[in-house]
Amino acid sequence: MAAPAAPVAEENPYGIMKALEEGGILAQVIFGIMVIMSVGSWYIFFVKMFEQQKIIKEGRRARTTFWQSANLREGANKLDKNGAYRQIVDDGLLAQEQHDKLTDPIDQHDWMLSSLARSQGAITSKLSSGLAFLATVGSTAPFIGLLGTVIGIYRALVKIGASGQASIDAVAGPVGEALIMTAVGLAVAVPAVMQYNWLMRRNKSISEELARFATYVHGYMMSGGAVKPILPAAATRPAAPARPAPAASTAGSGGTGTGGTGTGGTGTGGASTTRT
């Protein structure tokens, strides 16, 4: 007796692939654009997160080892060669050297302040590069997906009108496939918006730390090394004071001590009290 043949899996008449096939070249182009936008937004997110984490680690090092150095040049050598904090120190030292070469005298305080501000602005601008793409993806991806939905529904209605069938079976499939494009657009836009907001918040925190460091460097250079940031002291628990040993209570010592400090009568009284 022959074994029954295994049931053949039927092809799903609905789904994203079927929607792209039915939608034609225009729907496929729209879907490809959204795939490129999604891949690009995730790539920018991971690259920027790596850059931010690198600057945050360098900031921790600058708050400890840098200010313990004898001078700025020695402290700069302890930082990353191409790091943000190293760039601020190098630009400050270069501006200090160039101030004496100016033919038109400018106050050194203003010259150093503007030089450090330019250095900090260049770092902040580099951190913000690429975030405009995330904002663009977050704001346009839903509408691109909606465009694919509109095109899909239009094709479905044309197909239904040509066939002359307006039943639910004929309408639900094509319309449902068209709505997939809207879901794809939201799936691309929502992560991009969250990535943009998260990176912008971290950029703001990093910019504040860079501004604080640049202010300390400016004060250090203008004071000849006299002005330094107050570093947090190590949290050490103070040792508990030793308790004094209890004095020995004897009759002879009590009488002698009282008699020595007071009068004779007082000493006797103290002795007789001790005996009692």
What percent of the chain clears pLDDT 70, i.e. is strictly above it?
70
pLDDT tens-digit profile of 176-220?
777 888 888 999 999 999 999 999 999 999 999 898 888 888 888
Q: Which residues 6+ apart lie within 8 Å of 164 measured at CB? A: none
Global pTM value: 0.69
In a domain, 73, yes or no: yes
Question: What's the token pair of residue 64?
Answer: 């400890």
Residue 67 sits in which domain range?
Answer: 16-222
Q: What is the pLDDT of residue 236?
A: 36
Q: Which residues 6+ apart lie within 8 Å of 78 measured at CB? A: 61, 65, 66, 69
User: Domain total for the chain?
Assistant: 1
DSSP annotation of 69 reads S
In a domain, 272, yes or no: no
